[in-house]
């Protein structure tokens, strides 16, 4: 089968049509009765074959179980086939708890298509697309050395690091930066965040590398990452309901996340959950975006479509849907494109010749699509509400991916 990585692009993939229904056309959802919070994830064995039901048939109950067990209080799901939404489900409320075990004095509103979620590491997809678009604009490639953009990388041993190293998690950076005090100008980060291993030796998923990628984008584009992401990705894709640092007027439409004691932030609601992103001002390369499921479908569809038909530059689509370097260290459970993961473990029941491309986020978010294929999936939750101890999200994600894989098949 032809794919985006061999230079041949079949024209069969359809553009996302006018299936984004208005709220008036959608059946109303009501908030479910409030139930106690629990971390019991063992319910998510699901026993899919017990009643010989398909994953699609069980999907509504799977989402209900996520609410009832306290895995999340809010969920928004979209499955698209040939660019048309074929399944759209929203459930729960945006805020159920003020703290672990403390029910909200003012429960949030019922989740609907307008609910915005903290996207967590789905932000990395936008960061990667922004960097790639800037490189395309300047006639450059991901082999560009970071030291040509950022003075911290100008001298050995860091002078060999490339943007590709940052964007494929092979630069040798640690997974996290543990600075939790406000550092909005990133002065402490820039002075102290350095690789702990040589480049190209191992694949280690790193938020630190993506923060540096965002800083590199700002240096190349001459503007803030917020502005660059809008100019090169969000605006061209029509993602008007996605952005950093949402205004206070949007709070009722945002799903709450975690009660945090360290740093002492209380119940995080309407502000980025990721502690490092928050300390750095909330608009950085690893996390910080909030958005609706329908907006994330626009990005997902941009990766499904053939290069040349997508609103993203062809070079961006290719880089984000193809293994960057098969000879480089790879993750245990997926293959690495620029920004995206290919055939991640949670999509194990969903197979596609060109690989299922997507990403997940710590707050309980996920997207996946088939490059040059038919199916796309967006699954947004607030699984860290009111704390990150909840279990079951991994099994729910697998069930959701299994359901998406059944669309467009015979029978």
Residue 28, pLDDT > 80, answer no
Q: Which two tokens stand for residue 244?
A: 């950093």
Contact indicator for 224, 63 with CB cutoff of 8 Å: no
Q: Within a 13 Å sphere around the CA of 67, how many CA atoms are in the beta-carbon half?
A: 24
- For the stretch 68-106, pLDDT in tens is 999 999 999 999 999 999 999 999 999 999 999 999 999
Give me the pLDDT at residue 3, please.
56
11 pLDDT above the threshold of 80: no
Sign of CA dihedral 112, 117, 121, 126: positive
Model pLDDT for residues 243-277, shown as the tens digit of each residue: 999 999 999 999 999 999 999 999 999 999 999 99
Average pLDDT over residues 31-43: 35
- pLDDT tens profile 139-175: 999 999 999 999 999 999 999 999 999 999 999 999 9
pLDDT at 99: 97
Convert the pLDDT of each residue in 360-371 to its tens digit: 999 999 999 999
Mean pLDDT taken over the chain: 90
CA dihedral 181, 389, 385, 239 (to 10 degrees): 80
**C-alpha Rg value of the chain to the nearest Å:** 20
Q: Does domain 37-123+231-406 have CATH number 3.40.30.10?
A: no
Q: Taking the CA atoms of 378, 374, 397 and 287 in sequence, report the sign of the dihedral they define.
A: negative
Dmax (CA) of the chain = 63
Give the global pTM: 0.90
Predicted confidence at residue 353, as pLDDT, reads 94
* Mean pLDDT for the stretch of residues 278-283: 97
In this predicted structure, the answer to whether residue 411 has a pLDDT above a threshold of 60 is no
pLDDT digits (tens, 9 = 90+) for 133-149: 999 999 999 999 999 99
**Which helix or strand (DSSP H or E) is residue 74 part of?**
strand 74-81
Reduced to 3 states, what is the DSSP secondary structure of residue 125?
helix
Q: What is the three-class DSSP state of 47?
A: coil
Separation CA 303–CA 138 (nearest Å): 22
- How many other C-beta atoms are found inside a 10 Å radius of the C-beta of residue 266? 12
C-alpha dist (Å) from residue 409 to 162, 214, 403, 406: 42, 40, 11, 6
| Domain limits, the chain | 37-123+231-406, 125-223
Q: How far apart are CA 219 and CA 316, in angstroms?
A: 19
- The DSSP string of 378-393 is EEEE-TTSS-TT---H
């Amino acid at each position: 089968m032809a794919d985006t990585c061999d230079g041949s692009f079949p024209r069969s993939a359809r553009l996302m049509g006018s299936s984004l229904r208005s709220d008036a056309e959608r059946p109303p959802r009501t908030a479910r009765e409030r139930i106690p919070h629990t971390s019991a994830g063992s319910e998510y064995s699901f026993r899919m074959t017990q009643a010989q039901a398909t994953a699609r048939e069980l999907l509504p109950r799977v989402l209900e179980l996520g609410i009832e067990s306290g895995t999340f209080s809010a969920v928004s799901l979209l499955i698209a086939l040939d660019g048309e939404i074929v399944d759209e489900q929203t459930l729960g409320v945006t805020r159920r708890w003020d703290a672990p075990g403390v029910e909200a004095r003012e429960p949030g509103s019922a989740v609907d298509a307008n609910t915005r979620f903290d996207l967590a590491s789905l932000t990395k997809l936008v960061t990667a697309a922004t960097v790639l678009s800037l490189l395309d604009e300047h006639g450059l490639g991901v082999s560009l050395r970071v030291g040509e953009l950022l003075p911290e990388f100008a001298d050995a041993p860091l002078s060999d690091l490339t943007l590709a190293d940052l964007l494929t998690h092979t630069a040798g950076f640690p997974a996290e930066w543990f600075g939790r005090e406000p550092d909005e100008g990133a002065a402490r980060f820039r002075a102290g965040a350095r690789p702990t291993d040589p480049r190209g030796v191992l694949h280690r998923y790193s938020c630190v590398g993506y923060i540096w990628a965002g800083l590199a984008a700002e240096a190349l584009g001459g503007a803030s990452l917020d502005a660059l992401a809008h100019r090169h990705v969000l605006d061209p894709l029509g993602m008007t309901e996605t952005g950093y640092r949402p205004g206070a007027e949007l709070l009722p439409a945002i799903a709450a996340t975690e009660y945090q004691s360290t740093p002492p932030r209380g119940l995080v609601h309407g502000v980025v959950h990721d502690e490092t992103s928050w300390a750095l001002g909330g608009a950085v390369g690893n996390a910080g975006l909030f958005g609706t499921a329908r907006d994330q479908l626009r990005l997902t569809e941009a990766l499904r479509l053939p290069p040349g038909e997508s609103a993203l530059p062809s070079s961006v689509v290719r880089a984000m849907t193809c293994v960057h370097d098969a000879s480089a260290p790879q993750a245990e459970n997926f293959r690495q494109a620029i920004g995206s993961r290919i055939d991640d473990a949670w999509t194990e029941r969903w197979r596609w010749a060109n690989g299922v491309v997507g990403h997940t986020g710590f707050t309980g978010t996920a997207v996946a699509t088939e490059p040059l294929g038919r199916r796309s999936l967006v699954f947004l939750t607030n699984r860290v509400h009111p704390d990150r101890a909840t279990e079951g999200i991994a099994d729910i994600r697998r069930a959701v991916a299994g359901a998406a894989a059944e669309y467009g098949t015979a029978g």
